[in-house]
Chains A and B, each alone.
Chain A
Amino acid sequence: MTELIRDSLDHCVKCTICESFCPYSRATPLFPGPKYVGPQGERYRRAGASPDISVDYCSGCGICTQVCPQGVKIAEINTRARARLWEERGIPLRNQLIARPSVLGRLGTPVAPLANWTLRNRLLRRLGERLLGVHRDAPFPRFAGRTFQRWARKHVSPAADRSVVYFHACGTNYYEPAVGRMTVEVLEHNGFHVEIPPQDCCGLPLQSNGNFPAARAYVRRLAASLAPYARDGHAIVSNSTSCGLMLKREAHEILDVEDEDLTAVSEATYDLCEFLLLLHERGELRTDFGPLALTVPYHAPCQQQGHGIGKPALDLLALIPELRVIELDADCCGIAGTYGLKKEKYEISMAVGERLFGLVREAHPDLAVCDSETCRWQIEHGSSVRAVHPVELLHRAYGLDAA
């Protein structure tokens, strides 16, 4: 796989379409663009030493790979180059810390009020910026205090003819357990028994921050725990678009993990909206939606676009009577997982998201829809508009919030 990904750069014809679309090189001269640091810069890396630090300013949003007409795996090449860079230079403590959401989650959850207070205390945040390099204004979600897993352990999913496995990922577990509960209820409403196995981080933030060995260990462990279900014929459904993409493709293409567990899991993994829309195409999705008289903007996150499945949320939400969804034409919110948290990248991240924030505010004063958790937090931070996962609207339209 390593060679396949790298060799794809031979197909680069230097058309610079990727450069035209890259939201990060537009926002900062520190990132010269995906072609420069990728297909062009890669030949300087064979000698062993990375020529400069510019590839660290790539966020890994993956837009370059999507738009490339020649099939060059630009973002993948650059994510690997970033890992090599940090392997040579040593990964900073900050990048090790913010790349472990499940560790942070386990530490923060029991002391949630204190942790939330700390993350919102100006003085401590300033200190955190000085000592750790986490930008004082960067958006952090609130620890829920009670994890989704805790709810799931007590929850008895009704027996049903068909069952599905729910991969909720860290964001849902520690910060947004309500999204997890709504996902389960929507799936149950459609006649599924929902299995919620214990699960840890998929390793994606470690991958983005260049710690491939640790990322591989995480994703292997997760794949091993989900594989028995996949082999049993279960679909694995996730509301986290980026973590779902990690299981589907990135662990293979970027981390080079080739094991049978992961392959089985990849083939069984579905993004939540993808899964529900496929149900609908087969005539198996309940459409007893009540009206929602709303006009809301929808932003498809970059990692969601990386699935190559279009925007199933748009087709699903179109089933809700009286709901009008505005498809936004903005490329990236700027957060890219942990990118926008970093002191040296926060301003870039906000500049990248500026267009999206404006479009969101224009479309609706207090509600936006977006599939990815970190993007929702960034949208809320940048636009002061509450952002929800599409499942929240489905849940509401099904009348499940009243139940």
Chain B
Amino acid sequence: MNYDAVVIGAGLAGLTAALRLAEEGQRVLVVAKGVGATHLAPATIDVLGYDNGPVESPERALPEFAAANSAHPYRRLSVELIRASLDWFVARLGDHGYRGGLEENLLLPTAVGVPKPTALVPAAMAAGDLRTGGRFVFVGFLGLKDFYPAYLAENLARAPLPGGASVAARAVELAPPLGGEGDVSSVGFARRFEQPEFRESVVRELKGRLMPGEIVGFPAVLGLEHTREVMQELETGLGHPVFEVPTLPPSVQGLRLYETMTTALRRAGARLVVGSPVAGAETSGKRLEGVVAETAGRPLAYRAKAFVLATGGFASGGLELGSSLTVRETVFDLPLTGVPEAKDARFATGYFDDHAISRAGVAVDEKLRPVDGEGRVVYENLHVAGATLAGAVPWREASGNGLSLSTGYAAASAILESPS
């Protein structure tokens, strides 16, 4: 099968690259082993949240951050490009009403009550911005696992905020009718919120328990397809501003993001094959001619002029740590950097410490093409995006989706600007 561009991976990086290319009229295929990490993470775009402490303005912090981290993917991207990727994203996700930008990080509570800096948030989260303080009430549902409003509220009330903003937080737990079902996931709750009767029962039970001036935080389960309508109805019914706090997986916000982006891809004429791992390549010299995917019958080659590798890091299987302590990139066996020597420690002792192994990945040139140890380009028409890239520690930096979005966008730019 012949395409202009083949994107491997269906996470945010892959979908971004693919959609951008398809919009520019390219014949695009996305081929992925499975669904990407969108379903595991909040749909906030964290560009740079921490750099020796919380970052107030990614725009101001990025140049210094990139200068100090020579191996970091942001070193390859200009602030203008990162801004362009955010603008592009906000426009594509129109219905989600993303707020924010590179100028100032917003500060949103996580499910464990930590104020987390992030550059862009969907409208559904906006009222939870903690920067100016406020009085918050967090609503939990009996039967929804992994979301404990009291825990959230107590942690948040103790959390230090910039500029001495003061936050009051308390918790309320509701027991909405679940139709006899005991074990309902976040997606199950989101489907229930699509039903008017369920919303009404929540409003009825909650209304009398709110105090004047409170902002109401719900777990991010306020509908799947009609979040805006669900939010409006809750705000009208309760007479209070309402916002979402991201939950543990499955991420309903991520599901919405995936739906919007894959629908846009289909409309733009791109093809999406999920459930077909890519396991080989056809090359001629420094050019990648095709990738070979597993199908039910036999391997199938997809040929293209350009390729994007966006298979993720260790968590998604783009990088693999073998039992013999070797690290490999799983599709092309690309050269890796940042892999600790056998004699050195790969992991630090504390869970949230800076583990040496987490910076391992593929090093790239300014067009995001993989390079070897001597800085030579491995394949001139392959571009790498997202968590496969070396040099970042997204969960420490709060940079995950920002990296995926900006490098996915940059990979597409490199392809669109290439002479062929």
Verify if B39 is at the interface (C-beta below 8 Å from A). Answer: yes
Give the residue name and chain of the B residue nearest to A33 (CB).
B185
Give residues 1-43 of A contacting B (CB, 8 Å). 13, 15-17, 19-21, 26, 29, 32
Verify if A314 is at the interface (C-beta below 8 Å from B). Answer: yes
CB distance from A89 to the nearest CB of B (A): 25
Give the residue name and chain of the B residue nearest to A25 (CB).
B188
- Assess whether B297 is in contact with A270, with CB atoms less than 8 Å apart: yes
A16 is contacted by which of B34, B185, B271 (Cβ under 8 Å)?
A: B185
Q: A71-B34, A249-B297 are in contact. Are A19 and B185 (CB under 8 A)?
A: yes
Verify if A68 is at the interface (C-beta below 8 Å from B). Answer: yes
- Fill in one digit per residue for A197-227: 1 if any B CB lies within 8 Å of its CB, else 0: 0000000000000000000000000000000
- Fill in one digit per residue for A299-316: 1 if any B CB lies within 8 Å of its CB, else 0: 000000111111100110
Contacts of B134 in A (CB 8 A): none
Q: Which of B104-112, B115-123, B272-280 lies at the interface with chain A?
A: B272-280
How far apart sit A311 and B276, CA to CA, in the bound complex (Å)? 13
Give residues 216-259 of B contacting A (CB, 8 Å). 249-250, 255
Q: A66-B275, A249-B296, A308-B295 are in contact. Are A329 and B35 (CB under 8 A)?
A: no
How far apart sit A307 and B294, CA to CA, in the bound complex (Å)? 9
Contacts of B180 in A (CB 8 A): 29
Q: A16-B185, A29-B181, A281-B2 are in contact. Are A68 and B34 (CB under 8 A)?
A: yes
CB distance from A275 to the nearest CB of B (A): 10
Verify if A65 is at the interface (C-beta below 8 Å from B). Answer: yes
Contacts of A21 in B (CB 8 A): 35
How far apart sit A305 and B31, CA to CA, in the bound complex (Å)? 13
Give residues 309-343 of B contacting A (CB, 8 Å). 315-317
- Assess whether B34 is in contact with A245, with CB atoms less than 8 Å apart: no
What is the number of residues of chain A that contact chain B, defined by CB distance less than 8 Å? 37
- Fill in one digit per residue for A59-72: 1 if any B CB lies within 8 Å of its CB, else 0: 00000011111110
Verify if A88 is at the interface (C-beta below 8 Å from B). Answer: no
Verify if B191 is at the interface (C-beta below 8 Å from A). Answer: yes
Contacts of A95 in B (CB 8 A): none
Interchain pairs with CB closer than 8 A, number: 99
How far apart sit A67 and B185, CA to CA, in the bound complex (Å)? 18
Q: A16-B185, A267-B298, A310-B273 are in contact. Are A26 and B34 (CB under 8 A)?
A: no
Give residues 279-314 of A contacting B (CB, 8 Å). 281, 305-311, 314
How far apart sit A66 and B295, CA to CA, in the bound complex (Å)? 11
Verify if B36 is at the interface (C-beta below 8 Å from A). Answer: yes
Greatest chain A CB density within 10 A among B39, B181, B297 is at B297
CB distance from A231 to the nearest CB of B (A): 16
How far apart sit A17 and B248, CA to CA, in the bound complex (Å)? 12
- Fill in one digit per residue for B257-290: 1 if any A CB lies within 8 Å of its CB, else 0: 0000011001000011111110000000000000
How far apart sit A32 and B263, CA to CA, in the bound complex (Å)? 28
Verify if B367 is at the interface (C-beta below 8 Å from A). Answer: no
- Assess whether A309 is in contact with B273, with CB atoms less than 8 Å apart: yes
Verify if A269 is at the interface (C-beta below 8 Å from B). Answer: yes
- Assess whether B34 is in contact with A67, with CB atoms less than 8 Å apart: yes
Verify if B179 is at the interface (C-beta below 8 Å from A). Answer: yes
CB distance from B186 to the nearest CB of A (A): 9
Contacts of A68 in B (CB 8 A): 34-35, 275
Verify if A266 is at the interface (C-beta below 8 Å from B). Answer: yes
How far apart sit A281 and B290, CA to CA, in the bound complex (Å)? 14
- Fill in one digit per residue for B174-186: 1 if any A CB lies within 8 Å of its CB, else 0: 0000011101010
A15 is contacted by which of B187, B249, B275, B276 (Cβ under 8 Å)?
A: B249
Verify if B144 is at the interface (C-beta below 8 Å from A). Answer: no
- Assess whether B296 is in contact with A306, with CB atoms less than 8 Å apart: yes
CB distance from A186 to the nearest CB of B (A): 20
- Assess whether A248 is in contact with B296, with CB atoms less than 8 Å apart: yes
Contacts of B36 in A (CB 8 A): 69
Give the residue name and chain of the B residue nearest to A62 (CB).
B275
- Assess whether A19 is in contact with B297, with CB atoms less than 8 Å apart: no
Give residues 96-136 of A contacting B (CB, 8 Å). none
B33 is contacted by which of A71, A310, A311 (Cβ under 8 Å)?
A: A71
Greatest chain A CB density within 10 A among B1, B2, B31, B181 is at B1
CB distance from A35 to the nearest CB of B (A): 10
How far apart sit A13 and B312, CA to CA, in the bound complex (Å)? 15
Greatest chain A CB density within 10 A among B29, B34, B185 is at B34
- 12 CB < 8 A contacts A-B: A17-B39, A19-B185, A21-B35, A26-B191, A71-B317, A308-B273, A308-B294, A308-B296, A308-B300, A311-B271, A315-B271, A329-B263
Known: A67-B34, A67-B35, A68-B34; 6 extra A-B contacts, CB below 8 A, are: A15-B250, A29-B180, A308-B273, A310-B1, A311-B271, A329-B262
